[in-house]
Amino acid sequence: MIKNILYAWCIVMTVAITACSEDSLTPIDELNSTIYDPESTGKTAVDTQINAFYEKYGSKILYDFPASDLYFGWSSSDIKWYVPVEKEGSESYIKRMISFLENDALNEYPPAFTKKFLPYRIFLVDSVCNNKEYSKLVDVLELKTHGIVIAHVSKDMDDLKEKDWQGMKSSINTALLNSIYTAVGVEPTDFNATNEAYFIIDVLQDPLGEFTDLEYSCYSATVINASPIYGGDILYYIMNPSNNEDFGYYVSFIMKTPKTKIDRVFERFPKVKNRAALAYKFMLERAETDLIEFQRNTYPDDPLPADYFSR
């Protein structure tokens, strides 16, 4: 199975610590790895909810775990710090986060797709930093061991606005798409080799007015999406996506776009069509996932033919 990944034991490293939550307790020692038993279960109401989530998606949600169970990477540059969920008074926040995952964040893609590629472990924490300086807090942090960390499982959750929840949803789904490489265990080298985008993508306007500036600029650079930098309402420049992001954007595009638009994009941007075919082939052959099948279920009134990429 794709998700049967063995997590290795690593040596605990000791570094002086600095708090990474304005509202936190003393942060736990740095995060490293132990062997994880996915079959371990609890008997509380929260654990019952977690076990149901595990049955549905094959991913385990953890909120009370040894620091050694959470591991970011093999080098000292990957050391991170976090603040755990408080043991008392956090049950309602844990339940709310699980409900958010199941009823909102993970509804972006079909359940079968999510189950296959959702990171194997989901760690819930009060707060987490993405660097060893302990100064930059993040909402969602991707791990190198097929896992993610989700913050705000504390009374801070009460102050989250709709845009904050939407930001977390976007980050969680980005992590889901980025995890395809880890789940499959090999990179799509043929696909990666055809990316013609530079580090900074030129901002272009569609002479036909058919696509937005962001869409037209990305398609012209052979990518589907990227990170736009705005000043007010003005698009200043676009950052080239990483290989993981680039591939994930293509996967999402094939699954979540009606045939009418796909046809038009491919007609005007043949290189995008070629890269999409490579992404589709990789997912079919290496990940045993037919993206067209998902697209046909999503858009039954505007489906792709089953042999769309083999014509």
Residues 195-231 have pLDDT tens digits of 998 889 999 999 999 999 999 999 999 999 988 888 8
Q: For residue 39, what pLDDT is reported?
A: 52
Band the pLDDT of 37: cuts 50, 70, 90.
very low
241 touches 225 (CB < 8 A):
yes
Residue 224's pLDDT is what? 96
How far is Cα 79 from Cα 242, in angstroms, rounded to an integer?
22
Find the range with the poorest average confidence among 15-24, 195-204, 290-299. Answer: 15-24
Contact 141, 80 (CB under 8 A): yes
Q: What is the enclosing helix (H) or strand (E) of 74?
A: none
Distance CA 161, CA 149 (A): 20
Contact criterion met (CB below 8 Å) for 188 and 246: no
User: Which tens digit of pLDDT belongs to each residue from 243-252?
Assistant: 989 999 999 9
- The arithmetic mean of pLDDT across residues 274-299, rounded, is 96
143 pLDDT tier (thresholds 50, 70, 90) = confident
Among 87, 177, 103, 90, smallest CA distance to 140 is for 177
> pTM of the entire structure?
0.78
What pLDDT is recorded for position 173? 92
User: For residue 194, is pLDDT > 50?
Assistant: yes
Between 2 and 252, residue with greater pLDDT: 252
Q: What SS3 string covers 229-262?
A: EEECCEEEEEECCCHHHHHHHHHHHHHCCCHHHH
Cα dihedral 169, 218, 131, 28, rounded to 10, equals 20
Burial status of residue 305 (CB atoms within 10 A of its CB: 0-12, 13-18, 19 or more): exposed
Q: What is the 8-class DSSP label of residue 304?
A: P
75: pLDDT confidence band, cut at 50, 70 and 90?
very low
Element housing 207 (H / E): none
| DSSP designation for 157 | G
Mean pLDDT, the chain, integer: 82
Q: How many residues comprise the chain?
A: 311
Residues near 96 by beta carbon (within 8 Å), at least 6 away in sequence: 157
144-186 pLDDT, tens per residue? 777 899 999 999 999 999 999 999 999 999 999 988 887 888 8
The single residue listed with the structure tokens 């990477």 is 73
> How many helices and strands (H and E) does the chain possess?
11, 10
Q: What is the mean pLDDT of residues 23-50?
A: 51
Q: How confident is the model at residue 76 (pLDDT cuts 50, 70, 90)?
A: very low
